[in-house]
């Protein structure tokens, strides 16, 4: 046998011995399943060949990430530069494209390998299972570079009605595995951080601000796990509240049936009291991908293009560089390639924050209607799309 052949043989034997050693560490676990949570992940992100992760591997991954989230504070402290991502909602192909933005030399996100996700990873889209697992793998491998906040869909009373549960039951129909996974995910979701502070000047959350938010320590003091976020007013508002132009202070959120809506004055007072430059949130579909509010002190982003089959719906991620300068990077729907390569490339370019026109303010843009749901969801459990009357009216705003 040649020297190269002997070398390969030894490497193969060493690999086999290592695999056997690992398999003995946990009885009943196959070596390839043990490796699955980290096997597919590299950073900077490279597109994986992603099969449906096995039940055993997913359970292991959930427990690993649960421990990481439990060790984190309810208010994450994030450095810049960072790419901030809004709602994903099970749109796996678009999540892949967002993760590869840091390798696009023409993008404002180029070279940035720190991400902050604002929640709503599951429901409505067709691939919630793959989306959440990919993000959890990245979190396990790079816990300091990947920040994950809790969205209102990371609660069992919502993701039990808007597709995630049904998707798990479809993928894992045997021995109640789908339901067991759903319970395990929601048990982990209860430990997710509720907000993030970027560079001590930009506060990020999924929903919005709260009348109970008097200081940043109010968020830091929130104890987790929280199964039902509406049992804690501040936590519930961080996941559920919305801006509404023309009101003073805070009012009950009649559209959603939970939490509050807040006006421009409330945003300005919160920024002044907490020493903030901006507040960044997600939670509402913006047909232009983003919207500004309260003299640009509050920024809403939405990162799922063509959301709920709305063909003209754009998406963005927000890039905050090391000098606290904000840019928006557009993520066009994959199908928009048929509209012309020039348009598709244009949509990928960054739009500097200072160049954003005032017509993209929430109060001025009538097309920036929200897509809301009541706390109990709907009777539909279609993994690709809910079918509430709220959704229908939002798709065809009057």
Max Cα–Cα distance, the chain, nearest Å = 83
∠ CA 367-361-233, nearest 5°, is 95
Count of residues making up the chain: 398
- Annotated active-site residue in 153, 206, 232, 283: 153
**Residue 283 among the catalytic residues:** no
Residue 358 CA: distances (Å) to CA of 19, 50, 131, 181, 318? 59, 42, 34, 45, 18
* Residues in a beta bridge with 33: none
- Strand order through the sheet with 326-331: 146-148, 115-117, 82-85, 315-320, 326-331, 350-352
Distance between the two ends of the chain, CA-based, in angstroms? Answer: 78
Within 72-142, residue ranges assigned H as helices are 92-99, 128-141
Cβ atoms < 10 Å from Cβ of 67: 12
Asked if 153 contacts 121 with a C-beta cutoff of 8 angstroms, the reply is yes
Q: Which residues are catalytic?
A: 153
């Amino acid at each position: 046998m040649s020297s190269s052949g002997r070398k390969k043989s030894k490497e193969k034997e060493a690999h086999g011995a290592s695999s056997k050693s690992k398999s003995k560490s946990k009885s009943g676990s196959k070596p390839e399943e043990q490796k699955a949570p980290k096997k597919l992940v590299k950073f900077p992100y490279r597109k994986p060949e992603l099969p449906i992760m096995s039940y055993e591997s997913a359970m292991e991954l959930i427990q690993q990430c649960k421990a990481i989230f439990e060790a984190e504070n309810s208010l994450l402290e994030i450095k810049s530069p960072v790419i901030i991502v809004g709602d994903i909602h099970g749109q796996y192909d678009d999540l892949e494209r967002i993760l590869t933005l840091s390798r696009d030399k023409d993008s404002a996100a180029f070279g940035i390998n720190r991400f902050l996700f604002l929640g709503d990873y599951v429901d409505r889209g067709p691939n919630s299972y793959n989306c959440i697992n990919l993000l959890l793998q990245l979190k396990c491998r790079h816990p300091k570079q990947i920040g994950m906040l809790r969205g209102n869909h990371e609660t069992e009373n919502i993701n039990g009605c808007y597709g995630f549960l049904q998707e798990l039951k479809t993928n894992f129909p045997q021995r109640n595995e789908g339901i067991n996974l759903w319970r395990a995910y929601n048990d982990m979701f209860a430990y997710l951080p509720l907000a993030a502070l970027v560079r001590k000047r930009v506060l990020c959350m999924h929903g919005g601000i709260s009348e109970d938010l008097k200081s940043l320590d109010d968020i830091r003091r929130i104890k987790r796990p929280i199964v039902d976020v509406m049992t804690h007013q501040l936590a519930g508002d961080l996941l559920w509240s919305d801006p509404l132009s023309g009101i003073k202070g805070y009012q009950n959120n009649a559209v959603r049936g939970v939490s509050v809506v807040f006006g421009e004055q409330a945003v300005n007072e919160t920024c002044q009291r907490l020493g903030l430059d901006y507040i960044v949130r997600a939670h509402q579909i913006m047909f232009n991908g983003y919207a500004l509010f309260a003299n640009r002190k509050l920024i809403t982003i939405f990162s799922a293009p063509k959301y709920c089959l709305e063909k003209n719906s754009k998406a963005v991620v927000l890039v905050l560089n090391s000098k606290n300068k904000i840019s928006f990077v557009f993520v066009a729907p994959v199908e928009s390639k048929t509209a012309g390569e020039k348009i598709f490339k244009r949509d990928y370019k960054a739009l500097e924050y200072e160049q954003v026109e005032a017509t993209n303010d929430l109060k001025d843009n009538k097309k920036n209607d929200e897509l809301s749901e009541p706390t109990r969801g709907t009777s539909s459990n279609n993994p690709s799309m809910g079918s509430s009357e709220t959704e229908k009216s939002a798709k065809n705003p009057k």
